[in-house]
Amino acid sequence: MGKLIIGPHMRLHEWVAEEKGYFREAGLDYEFTDTTGGSRLSVKSAAELPRDQVRGAYQTIEAGRASMVSSACHWTVNMAAAAGHGRLWADCYSVTPGGVFVAPASGIRRPEDLAGVPITVGYQSGSHYATIQALESILDRDAIKLHFGGMLFQRLELLVDGEVEVATLFGGPLYLAEQLGFRKVLDCSFMITATVRADTEPEDLDRFSQALGRAQADIDLNHQRYTHYYRNEFPKRFRDTMDTRTFGPGERIVFSPYTKAMYDEAQRWIESWNIFEDGLAGRGCYEESVVHADASPSAAADASGAWKPTETDRAW
């Protein structure tokens, strides 16, 4: 059995589990790979780009990530898994704080003020879907305008440098934007799931889950002890500026299954917004697209989607 290659995702859990030795105590042989939010993954631009130059989280999964287990918004992981690009790990999910931010002096004060204003998001990434979902009950569809300016840190740079007026941020960059005085106009917290490569051993996922559960308890108890770990994934330009003492706990893992009902509802919603031009044609069903730690396609949910606790759930 080889090493589990882990891709951290702008959260504290993996760093806490490593510090405390939880991975080793669970019997996991592992190593971290480069983060998934770096500038190498997308073009940073305040201008409208040709579609063939626009890349986001979906494209990184489609191309094949180096890590065996990594994370992205549940919409992207769902659609990628349904297309045969990895599997969605369905034993748990997480929720990250997110928001639409503007500069301190901006005249945009209310969500209604965003009508017709380009909001900088990542293409087919969490910010793309989350921004639409947050605004769809507030604005007419044709009033929601998006600008695909790059991945997480590119958007942060564009906003901080004054190259764009509005951007959607989550996790660590959200906390830095708040520290720098940027204002959150609208909350758009969203769900994240893990994408798992086909060569990943289910037993390793169970060990990984045990370690993350212990780390989550530590973060819940006193997250201030661990916020310095946000520095590990930030570009160097921000490290002297950021005061991680002001940062919050960020993403929170929920040890409940990502059910068939969630899977199907997410796909219907994505298709209703035509986010993928080819729609759902040819995409796999839930049972074909997910994986559980015990390798049973429906281990944590019965036919109705009701949750059944696993051993890991009972432990936490």
Give me the tens of pLDDT residue by residue for the chain, a chain 316 residues long: 589 999 988 899 999 999 999 999 999 999 998 654 444 445 778 788 777 778 899 999 999 998 999 999 999 999 999 999 999 999 999 999 999 999 999 999 999 999 999 999 999 999 999 999 999 999 999 999 999 999 999 999 999 999 999 999 999 999 999 999 999 999 999 999 999 998 899 999 999 999 999 999 999 999 999 999 999 999 999 999 999 999 999 999 999 999 999 999 999 999 999 999 888 888 999 999 999 987 543 443 343 343 344 443 333 3
Helices 126-135 and 74-82, packing angle to 10 deg: 120
Residue 40: helix, strand or coil by DSSP? helix
Class of domain 4-95+191-315: alpha beta
Torsion of CA 287, 36, 10, 315, to 10 degrees: 30
CB atoms within 10 A of CB 201: 14
Q: Do residues 92 and 253 touch, judged by C-beta distance below 8 A? A: yes
DSSP-assigned letter for residue 43: -
Domain map (residue ranges) of the chain = 4-95+191-315, 98-189
Residue 180: helix, strand or coil by DSSP? coil
Class of domain 98-189: alpha beta
